[in-house]
């Protein structure tokens, strides 16, 4: 598929995915959402791609929010359909079984903050700004903001951000746990790639199962989550990668994982 709003640059084993509407601050139009969903499915199905770095074109914005022109025309039914489509797109990234890293440059507001939160790890340039301003527009978050934000920063911090619409800078986002690292803007791309390559140096099956255990475990009781973890631990015990990793440790050499 040829994308109109995205740039997909595959430099194996990483897919670099850029939302490419800098004149619109990379706003999430319906077309962007549809193309992102398609790209997520395509990357998931490509066995040569092992990780994704997601960012926005230009220095001003990761994604400044949803496309207000689209929202202004919606009614009850198409509003619900729009929310469900956006949520499905984010879950496609969240559950693809490969690490997805958001490199947040500039504004990550509304749908942009929601998109970043659906990524497994977020790093930000020190000029990044995060927020969920929807209540000031007479709407609620629709792409998971009311659900992921409390899970990431806690109920009190989430309600403060959701109900005031207040934006926070990169350092405050770091303090809240919304991002894991803050770097100068000119170092963001390099740091994102360095971090992804660090993750991809680990055992692929163990990485995928760890992501799944965390994602599913957050939706259940501690007891059930521990059973999920035990199942994952048992599954990796059958892999060549486990034997290679343990042998490499004992032999004091770097492991050579094959994803088997």
> Catalytic: which of 81, 94, 134, 219?
134
- Mapping DSSP to helix (H, G, I), strand (E, B) and coil, where does residue 37 land? helix
Q: What is the DSSP string of 65-120?
A: -B-HHHHHT--HHHHHHHHHHHHHHHHHHHTSSS-EEEEE-SEEETHHHHHHHHSS
Query: Could you give the CA distance from residue 56 to residue 125 in angstroms, rounded to a whole number?
Result: 12
Query: Could you give the CA distance from residue 184 to residue 167 in angstroms, rounded to a whole number?
Result: 19
The verdict on whether 224 is a catalytic residue reads no
Question: Is the bond leading into 13 cis (omega within 30 degrees of zero)?
Answer: yes
> Catalytic: which of 114, 191, 219, 223?
114
Q: Which helix (H) or strand (E) holds 10?
A: strand 6-11
The verdict on whether 191 is a catalytic residue reads no
Query: Could you give the CA distance from residue 66 to residue 165 in angstroms, rounded to a whole number?
Result: 15
The count of other CB atoms within 10 Å of the CB of residue 48 is: 8
Q: Which of 88, 110, 84 is nearest to 40 (CA)?
A: 88
Instruction: Please list the active-site residues.
Output: 114, 134
């Amino acid at each position: 598929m040829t994308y109109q709003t995205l740039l997909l640059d595959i430099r194996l084993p990483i897919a670099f995915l850029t939302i490419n509407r800098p004149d619109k601050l990379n706003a999430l139009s319906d077309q962007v959402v549809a193309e992102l969903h398609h790209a997520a499915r395509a990357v998931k199905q490509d066995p040569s791609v092992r990780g994704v770095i997601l960012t926005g074109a230009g220095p001003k914005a990761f994604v400044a929010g949803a496309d207000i022109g689209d929202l202004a025309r919606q009614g009850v039914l198409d509003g619900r359909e729009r929310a469900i489509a956006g949520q499905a797109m984010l879950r496609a990234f969240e559950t693809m079984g490969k690490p997805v890293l958001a490199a947040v440059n500039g504004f990550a507001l509304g749908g942009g903050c929601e998109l970043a939160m659906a990524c497994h790890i977020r790093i930000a340039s020190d000029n990044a700004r995060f927020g969920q301003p929807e209540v000031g527009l007479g709407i609620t978050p629709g792409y998971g903001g009311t659900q992921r934000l409390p899970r990431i920063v806690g109920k009190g911090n989430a309600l403060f951000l959701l109900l005031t619409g207040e934006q926070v800078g990169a350092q405050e986002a770091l303090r809240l746990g919304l991002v894991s690292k803050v770097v100068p803007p000119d170092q963001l791309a390099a740091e994102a790639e360095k971090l992804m390559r660090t993750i991809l140096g680990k055992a692929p099956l163990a990485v995928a199962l760890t992501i799944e255990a965390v994602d599913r475990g957050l939706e259940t009781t501690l007891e059930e989550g521990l059973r999920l973890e035990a199942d994952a631990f048992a599954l990796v015990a059958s892999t060549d990668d486990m034997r290679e990793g343990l042998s490499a440790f004992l032999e004091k050499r770097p492991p050579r994982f094959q994803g088997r």
